[in-house]
Structure 1
Amino acid sequence: MSTASIPTYRDAIDALNSLQTNAAILEAVRAAGAKLNPNAIPEMIDYLRRVGLEPSQLNNLNVIHITGTKGKGSTSAFTDSILRAARPGWKTGLYTSPHLVAVRERIRINGEPLSEEEFTRYFFEVWNLLQNTKVFAATTPFMPNYFRYLTLMAFYTFNQLKVDATILEVGIGGRSDSTNIVPKPVVTGVTALGYDHTRLLGERLSQIANQKGGIYKARFFDGVPALTVEQPEEGILELGVCAAEQRASQFTIIDTLPSTIQLGMFIGLAGAHQRSNAGLAVQLVHTTTRATWSGSEIEPLRSLPTSFLDGLKNAHWPGRCQTVLDPKFEDTTWFLDGAHTQESLACCLEWFVSPAVGLPVFPVSDGHPPRVLIFNCTSGRSGDDFLTAILQKIEERLAMHGSLEKKEEFFAKVIFCSNVTYASGNFKAVNLTSAAMSTTDNLNLKTQREIEAAWNKLVPTYSGMVHVLPSIEDAVEEVRKMLNVSVLVTGSLHLVGGVIEVAGLADRALSPKA
């Protein structure tokens, strides 16, 4: 900690980063066959009590609990925006992960991240309470890990500020997630299911759905409404079982919003796939804002009030289907999407390979700026499968739009880089520091070389340039050697956040008013 008597924001972030699990431990866990912690919920309750809260007090936060494989962050952002428009007198709390540039982004009040001063205050209040209390159960680690700590801090902060409603995004899964200690949320929702974290959640969609459906709850003598977007049959069946087991008051499959309703498409939430997320958000808010709630089934909202339409239109969620003009290099356009599952990558390419985005408006065969792909995926995810999903979607979309381009030549340049921010090997300040990245892997670019090999196998006739680079700074510099270029950055939210930092896009990318 700094020598000053009052701790600083840097002190808070340094302390928080000390709670990260390092790469060696993570690799050992993977090698041993990673499993969900059976004591996760009791341990989290232990931490909660050590900061002076009981689980029952979390019910006062009026929690809207959201999980899913893809789209849960966007759904949370839509929900927050609609709720603030529909109930302008309410104080809303929003907890999401990961952050793009600053960890403060994870805990928001009325749509705004905590200030550095607020973050520092609540961080050390929680830290000191934990440091000065003992664990209740001998099996509980003395300090929570990085994500658990931030979840605990979010609960503590929202309680201190007496928020009227809380939008709570699950980290991984649902059933054993540290957010799942709220006994009686107001409503629960599941976004699109897919295959991610399969080592932890299971290889089959039904197993994954079972974990996600673990957030469904009973409330008093009646259940909490359990909502979901359309899912494959295997997923819907299992979610229905979970809803029945948890005694949810109803189990409702939410319709996708029609294309006539405007979303926040110019400020970071474009893409047709966002309409299912927006539809779920509408019903989550509709349930939450009912003046009286008797436990009877709540009919889906068919006609949207003006406030709901305003909330949808003004929703802002950086780094997801977001177009950003480079403020310094005016002929460079960045297309940012932190998609990190096969399903979300397919949605990303569905958005990018569209007229007025990555394709010319009309006719599609006309000339276009050269395109660059900057891509990375974290250890444990298959670059081969991800690149296959990307190429398949490019081919499908080109054919759909009548383009004569070949998927193999769609990108003039492909860059595979690590998530390390700067060429010096440093991360941006401390907010983007990740102990989970192996130093050896970073030096040898093991993951990036594997992705390069997968690309060469999938596109053996590729005539463009392929680069494997050690940092995001190197990738940005490579892009800036070109003129009039369209750059798609995807595969990792950490990568997207690093590009926003290095390329100087923060003012335009992070502000809803940009």
Structure 2
Amino acid sequence: MIIRNPLRMVGKTYHDAVTALNSLQSNYANIMAIRQTGDRKNIMTLLEMHEWSRRIGYAASDFNKLNIVHITGTKGKGSTAAFTSSILGQYKEKLPRIGLYTSPHLRSVRERIRINGEPISEKKFAKYFFEVWDRLDKTTSPLDKFPHMVPGSKPGYFKFLTLLSFHTFIQEGCKSCVYEVGVGGELDSTNIIQKPTVCGVTLLGIDHTFMLGDTIEEIAWNKGGIFKPETPAFTVEKQPSKGLIVLKERAAERKTTLTEVSVFKQLQNVKLGIAGEFQKSNASLAIILASEVLYSSNILKEKIGCNSDAPIPEKFIIGLQSTNWEGRCQVLERGKNVWYIDGAHTKDSMVAASTWFRDTVCLSKKKKILLFNQQSRDANALVNNLHLAVSPDVTFDDVIFTTNITWKSGSYSADLVSMNTSQEDVEKLKVQDSLAKNWSKIDNNCARTHVTTNIEEANELIEMLYDEPVDIFVTGSLHLVGGLLVVFDRINVK
């Protein structure tokens, strides 16, 4: 989607950049209008990405020098990207700068564009942001070919950030970059990448059906759209069989190979930096993806084999152990309480996260609290998946349903402003009230239900509920997780 007449910023600070960036968000009304047309495919997306790139001074071929790892999938693609980046980061003497582009962000939009695992600074974000912004303002597109690109228009939020990431990584001299697809693959803005070093596909599932299709075959077709000729592609084992068939067909169409990666036996006794038994599959895929980059860069003499018995270099193990990825099976001890945090928001990820929580706390005698938010997907279905996964081993004493608004003032943290949900539904707590009623129906243990208007209020409620220590499970939305971490940053707990 192209945004017309965005804000014209006078200043050049990070705050100015975030304000300008937020003006590029698609609003809820526009999204619903597009959905009502039934048009899933915007065939102009990649043509426009090429044109936007030209206007900021790049051809798509310029991005080939970034030695890119391109990752898609439904569940675990962010974790796999983080694992891959961390492994590559262990070879700093040969690859001094590793870029990482992921979405969404938790606390700050800068998290989407990282170098050597760290978000770029506010100063650099603002610098590169306005270089891209100003180049777009000073250039035009032929309206006969791109009728929506009227003077002053800008690409949408995610497309702009994708352009910004390419510009940043090239200007910073990154030797390899890991790119996580936004949605799907075939028409994702990151698919402007022409010659990645390697492609990876994490576990497939049903999500983003409006854009990708209603069946696992349609979704697999979209995900397989990132495959490129002569670029090896790899995927995790235990893919849905129908999806795997389509992925293999797509690989053949694109004149490349698709290889399944077994979970490496050597990982059985390794404590990964991202918790959860299911992460070993993502870590195994990351090992192979990193191996391809290091081999193509003449750093490894031999590629690592995909069989489960293949030996893993020590630097790879260190990279996996040191991976830090907030909001995914994350445990935080704050004061007397322990928080178990995962931004799961699909059926498969909710089951995985809930199973992790259940297995971790099932022997704990402490009271249990659930803090949940999901504003745009089928929230009741997700809660049902959660309940089935934890029962009967874990029961909740209190269940809190909140919006994704950050503060009691009714405002969002600047980096967390979201225009992609119905503001009326948020203000009237429609989803939260529906969730509370649904929980009362499915929960035989009669947990107390609460509804709060914002994340700050929900946190205060949790702190007041019990004098004794409690275990809190936070899930359903990365918007919730990000907002909660921002609230934590402001509050000091002894």
TM-score, normalised on structure 2? 0.91
Instruction: Describe the superposition over 1:239-291 as per-residue Cα deviations: whole angstroms up to 9, x where unpaired.
Output: 0001000111x2100112334242434xxx10001001000000000111115
Shift of 1:371: 0.9
SS of structure 2 residue aligned to 1:324: strand
Post-superposition, which runs of at least 4 consecutive aligned residues in structure 1 deviate over 6 A?
1-5, 505-508
Counterpart Cα distance in 1 of 2:341 and 2:39: 31
User: 2:477 aligns to what?
Assistant: 492
Counterpart Cα distance in 1 of 2:490 and 2:355: 24
Shift of 1:2: 12
Counterpart Cα distance in 2 of 1:497 and 1:244: 40
Counterpart Cα distance in 2 of 1:140 and 1:278: 42
SS of structure 1 residue aligned to 2:489: coil
Counterpart Cα distance in 1 of 2:489 and 2:171: 35
Q: Is this contact kept in 2: 1:216–1:243, CA < 8 A?
A: yes
Counterpart Cα distance in 1 of 2:474 and 2:336: 17
- Report whether the alignment pairs 1:384 with 2:386: no
- Report whether the alignment pairs 1:316 with 2:327: no
User: 1:512 aligns to what?
Assistant: none
Letter in 2 for 1:224: T
Structure 1 range deviating more: 370-379 or 101-110: 370-379
- Report whether the alignment pairs 1:393 with 2:398: no
Counterpart Cα distance in 1 of 2:329 and 2:67: 30
User: 1:402 aligns to what?
Assistant: none
Instruction: Describe the superposition over 1:330-366 as per-residue Cα deviations: whole angstroms up to 9, x where unpaired.
Output: 1111111011100001110111111xx3222xxxxxx
Instruction: Describe the superposition over 1:204-250 as per-residue Cα deviations: whole angstroms up to 9, x where unpaired.
Output: 101100000100101xxxx10011112011111010001000111x2
Structure 2: 5+ residue stretches without partners? 1-5
Q: Is this contact kept in 1: 2:262–2:284, CA < 8 A?
A: yes
Structure 1 range deviating more: 466-475 or 131-140: 131-140
- Report whether the alignment pairs 1:79 with 2:79: no
Shift of 1:112: 1.0
Q: Is this contact kept in 1: 2:260–2:306, CA < 8 A?
A: no
User: 2:135 aligns to what?
Assistant: 129
Counterpart Cα distance in 2 of 1:368 and 1:342: 28
Which one of the candidate residues 419, 433, 447 is aligned to 1:435?
Answer: 419
Which one of the candidate residues 454, 470, 474 is aligned to 2:453?
Answer: 470
Counterpart Cα distance in 2 of 1:133 and 1:68: 35
- Report whether the alignment pairs 1:116 with 2:122: yes
Which one of the candidate residues 274, 283, 290 is aligned to 1:278?
Answer: 283
User: 1:359 aligns to what?
Assistant: 362
User: 1:452 aligns to what?
Assistant: 436
Q: Is this contact kept in 1: 2:8–2:20, CA < 8 A?
A: no
TM-score, normalised on structure 1? 0.88
Q: 1:283 to 1:4 in 2, by over 3 A?
A: closer
Computed over aligned residues only, the root mean square deviation of the Cα atoms, in angstroms, reads 2.2
Which one of the candidate residues 138, 141, 147 is aligned to 1:139?
Answer: 147
Counterpart Cα distance in 2 of 1:384 and 1:187: 38
Instruction: Describe the superposition over 1:396-450 as per-residue Cα deviations: whole angstroms up to 9, x where unpaired.
Output: xx5xxxxxx5x6xx0111111110001111001x111112232211110112222
Which one of the candidate residues 470, 484, 488 is aligned to 1:503?
Answer: 488
SS of structure 2 residue aligned to 1:368: coil
Shift of 1:292: 6.7
Amino-acid identity (%): 41
Map 1:76-475 onto structure 2 (within 5 A).
76-90=81-95, 91-136=97-142, 137-141=145-149, 142-218=153-229, 223-230=230-237, 231-248=239-256, 250-258=257-265, 259-265=267-273, 269-291=274-296, 299-300=305-306, 302-326=310-334, 330-354=335-359, 357-360=360-363, 368-379=365-376, 381-395=377-391, 405=393, 410-428=395-413, 430-459=414-443, 461-475=444-458
Q: Is this contact kept in 2: 1:416–1:451, CA < 8 A?
A: yes
Shift of 1:138: 2.4
Q: 1:32 to 1:448 in 2, by over 3 A?
A: farther
Instruction: Describe the superposition over 1:143-170 as per-residue Cα deviations: whole angstroms up to 9, x where unpaired.
Output: 1001110000001111111210000000
Aligned residues: 473
Shift of 1:33: 3.0
SS of structure 1 residue aligned to 2:268: coil
Letter in 2 for 1:159: I
Shift of 1:106: 0.5
SS of structure 1 residue aligned to 2:69: strand
Shift of 1:87: 4.4
Structure 1 range deviating more: 300-309 or 335-344: 300-309
